[in-house]
């Protein structure tokens, strides 16, 4: 809605690799949960050392504590996510893609065979994939959401293909088929 291309980054990467991905994607803004600020700050130092332009840092505070961290404040030259939201304008004009093949997201491979490669997804591909999921998993007009159950039962890992989404013992692709009375624990590895 703002003309941006989204890219989720793996928080398990080291600072030089994060810096490489931020530079390769030409990131303008990076939104970071407060827990991962230190590794991102190190990545931004690597970018600055290469005399390249760093993305603007937006820190997402811990909503329970109402603070960036128990011991630190938001780094200089960055912004709090809530402050960014407060800058929003109700009359903002949505920037729609001119072509359905324009990119909406860039995902990176793990880099297990070398340097991570960016995989670009278009608006069209994302739309078609979401429609395909509706048919693939026979979603009804009122699908059941098992989020709270998943959170309480988590212990292993939930994956979509190679992408590790969240720690839990079930596969996200199987969630839509589970019924509370027939819970199955499915291996993810």
User: What pLDDT, in 10s, does the model give residues 51-78?
Assistant: 999 999 999 887 665 554 444 567 788 8
Global pTM reads 0.66
Is 134 domain-assigned? no
Same domain, 26 and 84: yes
pLDDT confidence of residue 183: 40
Is 49 domain-assigned? yes
Structure tokens at 63: 């909503």
Is 140:115 a contact under the CB 8 Å cutoff?
no
Other beta carbons within 10 angstroms of residue 138's beta carbon come to: 9
Is 26 domain-assigned? yes
Is 55 domain-assigned? yes
Q: What residue spans of the chain are helical by DSSP H?
A: 15-24, 37-49, 81-86, 123-136, 147-153, 172-175
Helix axes 15-24, 37-49, angle to 10 degrees: 60
The average pLDDT across 66-93 equals: 76
Same domain, 91 and 36: yes
The residue out of 95, 128, 155 marking a domain boundary is 95
Is 116 domain-assigned? no
Is 125 domain-assigned? no
* 79-88, 102-111, 113-122, 131-140, range with the lowest pLDDT: 131-140
Range of the domain at 54: 15-95
pLDDT confidence of residue 92: 87
Is 43 domain-assigned? yes
Is 119 domain-assigned? no
């Amino acid at each position: 809605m703002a003309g941006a291309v989204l890219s989720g980054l793996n928080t398990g990467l080291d600072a030089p690799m994060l810096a490489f991905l931020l530079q390769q994607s030409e990131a303008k803004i990076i939104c970071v949960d407060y827990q991962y600020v230190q590794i991102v700050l190190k990545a931004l130092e690597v970018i600055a050392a290469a005399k390249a332009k760093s993305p603007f840092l937006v820190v997402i505070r811990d909503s329970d504590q109402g603070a960036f961290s128990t011991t630190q404040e938001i780094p200089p030259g960055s912004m709090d996510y809530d402050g960014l939201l407060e800058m929003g304008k109700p009359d903002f004009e949505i920037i729609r893609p001119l072509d359905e093949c324009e990119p909406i997201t860039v995902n990176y491979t793990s880099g297990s065979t070398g340097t991570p490669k960016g995989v670009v997804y278009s608006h069209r591909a994302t739309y078609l994939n979401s429609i395909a999921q509706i048919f693939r998993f026979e979603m009804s007009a009122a699908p059941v959401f098992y989020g709270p159950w998943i959170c309480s039962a988590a212990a292993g890992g939930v994956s979509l293909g190679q992408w590790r989404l969240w720690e839990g013992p079930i596969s996200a692709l199987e969630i839509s088929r589970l019924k509370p009375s027939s819970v199955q624990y499915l291996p993810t590895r």
